[in-house]
Amino acid sequence: MTDLLSLTPDAARAALADWLAGGAAGAGAGAGAGHAEPGYRVTQLVPRLWQRPAGSWEEATDLPAALRSQLAAAFPLGRLTLATTQLSRDGTEKFLWKLADGEAIESVLIPEGKRRTLCISSQVGCALGCVFCATGRMGFRRNLRASEIAGQVRELVLREAGAVPTNIVFMGMGEPLLNWDAVDTALTILNHRDGFGIGARHITVSTVGILPSLAQLAKRPEQFRLALSLHAPTAQLRHELMPIEKKYALPDVIQALTQFRRRVTLEYVLIGGKNDSLAQADELAKLARPLGALVNLLPLHPGGAPDLTPSARPRMLAFERRLKRHGVEVVLRRSRGLDISAACGQLRVELEARRKVRPQEHARVE
Ligand code: SAH
Ligand code: SF4
């Protein structure tokens, strides 16, 4: 059995062609051997993976029944099961998906004018334990497969044909660059014309800055966008908020951003009394200016950490003005989906019967 949905469209095409021709991939099941016109069949099958996805091969009724059952045996199409959906007053919609092994992940759909941005998860939980983050409190459970990452889009399209999001952000649960192989493949599926065909410039990977895979991402020829979760302008404060600072230090992470030939975004969650002073805005400007980076200021979603408070609105505005005065391009985001706890990890955390996170599930960042 091969998980076609965890392959790039080109690799899936090759596996299907091989199977149809009775080659190695089909030898195990013996099912594909001797199919006529494999070239023609392949062009019928590949679009059913992503472009016009089939819920199962049995549903692809334009195919002969015998072929459908052989395909179902050789290449089962994994699904994510919708456990809960919540619709916010502001139009933000949150999906909680159950995976085959019973784990759960979230995606959030954020409509904004003509844009439909889907925020997707890359891991179940997260090992990095940033103090403000609900997913971090959950600890790490496991990596997602490529089929489970791209599957978050596939399931939306299965629910409603033509519902392909215009934009994708890897800002759901997990640290995408700690699951690089699957994220690498998922990026191809999202972007490829035989996948979802979403423009690379409309796909943003958000990371705390895992240096080895950051270099891999920078090497990809497509113009995928990068958002770095900065949240503190100095190594000392960043260390307090984000344990990963111990492993990948701020100056090295900032240096690594210069590998990107395109403009990067710096994500900065404003936390009352922690990182929102004007002096800190000055420090932040010193990092952002030479990079030509866009700074995204985000209000703290209160669900992440009970002991932290969002910055007061006037303080956020003053912080934003100060950055602008330094010539930094900055956007102050509105909080979306507040009434449905749409910050990463929150829905799952709420639904779980307050399962205690065992200490060994927490990150050990040496
Ligand atoms: N692990 C990656 C991507 C997932 S987190 C990363 O950290 O970049 C996606 C974004 O949500 C990050 O910028 C993260 O800092 C932010 N975030 C986490 N908890 C938050 C909260 N309580 N309020 C607002 N943003 C939060
Ligand atoms: Fe993990 Fe990102 Fe949350 Fe930090 S902010 S704990 S890296 S998901």
CA of residue 208 to ligand 1 center, whole Å: 9
Atom of ligand 2 nearest to the CA of 126: 1
Atom of ligand 2 nearest to the CA of 206: 2
Instruction: Say yes or no: CB of residue 304 within 6 Å of ligand 1.
Output: yes
Tell which residue, 325, 320, 328, 321, has the closest CA to residue 291.
Answer: 328
pLDDT band at 34 (very low <50, low <70, confident <90, very high): low
Substitution site in 117, 206, 295 for ligand 1 pocket (most atoms within 8 Å of beta carbon):
206
Q: How far is the CA of 136 from the centre of ligand 1 (A)?
A: 9
Handedness of CA 66, 69, 70, 71 (dihedral sign): positive
Tokens at 353, concatenated: 């019967």
Ligand 1 atom nearest the C-alpha of 174 is 1
Residue 301 near ligand 1, beta carbon < 6 Å:
yes
3-class secondary structure per residue, 175-211: CHHHCHHHHHHHHHHHHCCCCCCCCHHHEEEEECCCH
Q: Is the pLDDT of residue 295 over 80?
A: yes
Q: Tell me if 208 CB under 6 Å of ligand 2.
A: yes
pLDDT at residue 9 above 50? yes
What is the pLDDT at residue 39?
80
Query: Nearest ligand to the C-alpha of residue 205?
Result: 1
Q: Are 241 and 130 in contact (CB under 8 A)?
A: yes
Kindly report the protein residue whose alpha carbon is nearest to atom 18 of ligand 1: 133
Residue 333: is its pLDDT beyond 90? Answer: no
Q: Is the CB of 175 under 6 A from ligand 1?
A: yes
310: CA distance to ligand 2 center in Å?
17
The burial of 53, by beta-carbon neighbours within 10 Å (0-12 exposed, 13-18 middle, 19 or more buried), is given as buried
**Mean pLDDT within 186-199:** 98
Helix, strand or coil, per DSSP, at residue 119: strand
**Which of 93, 103, 106, 175 is labelled catalytic?**
106
* Minimal-distance CA residue to ligand 2 atom 6: 136
* pLDDT, position 89: 87
pTM for the model stands at 0.91
**H-helix or E-strand spanning residue 323:** helix 313-325
pLDDT for 353: 33
Q: Is 169 in the pocket of ligand 1 (CB under 6 A)?
A: no
- From the CA of 172, the nearest ligand is 1
pLDDT above 90 coverage of the chain, percent? 80
Say whether pLDDT at 318 is over 60. yes
Which phi-psi region, left, alpha or beta, contains residue 159 (left: φ > 0; alpha: ψ -120 to 50)? alpha
Q: Minimum mean pLDDT among 89-93, 148-152, 302-306: which range?
A: 302-306
pLDDT band (50, 70, 90) for residue 88: confident
**Mean pLDDT lowest for which of 23-37, 183-197, 224-238, 305-319?**
23-37
Q: Is the pLDDT of residue 43 over 80?
A: yes
How much distance in Å is there from the Cα of 267 to the middle of ligand 2? 12
Residue with tokens 């492993």, as numbered in its chain = 247
CA nearest neighbour of 80 among 93, 95, 70? 95
Ligand 1 centroid to 147 CA: how many Å? Answer: 23
The predicted pLDDT at position 339 comes to 62
Is 298 a pocket residue for ligand 1 (Cβ < 6 Å)? yes
**How confident is the model at residue 35, as a pLDDT?**
61
Does the annotation count 344 as an active-site position? yes
The minimum-distance atom of ligand 1 relative to the CA of 308 is 22
Phi then psi for residue 58, to 5 deg, are: -60, -30
Mean pLDDT of the chain: 89
135 lines ligand 2 (CB under 6 A): yes
> Quick one: pLDDT at residue 70?
96
Report the pLDDT value the prediction gives residue 15, as an integer from 0 to 100: 96
Identify whether the C-beta of residue 59 lies closer than 8 Å to the C-beta of residue 41. Answer: no
pLDDT at 82: 97
The reply to whether 267 belongs to the active site is no
pLDDT score of 359: 32
Reported as a single tens digit per residue, the pLDDT across 150-172 is 999 999 999 999 999 999 999 99
CATH 3.20.20.70 in the chain: give the residue spans: 81-361
**What topology does CATH give the domain 81-361?**
TIM Barrel (3.20.20)
Tell me the pLDDT band of 36, cut-offs 50, 70 and 90: low
pLDDT reported for residue 29? 47
With cut-offs at 50, 70 and 90, classify the pLDDT of residue 342. low
- pLDDT tens digit sequence for 239-285: 999 999 999 999 999 999 999 988 999 999 999 999 999 999 999 99
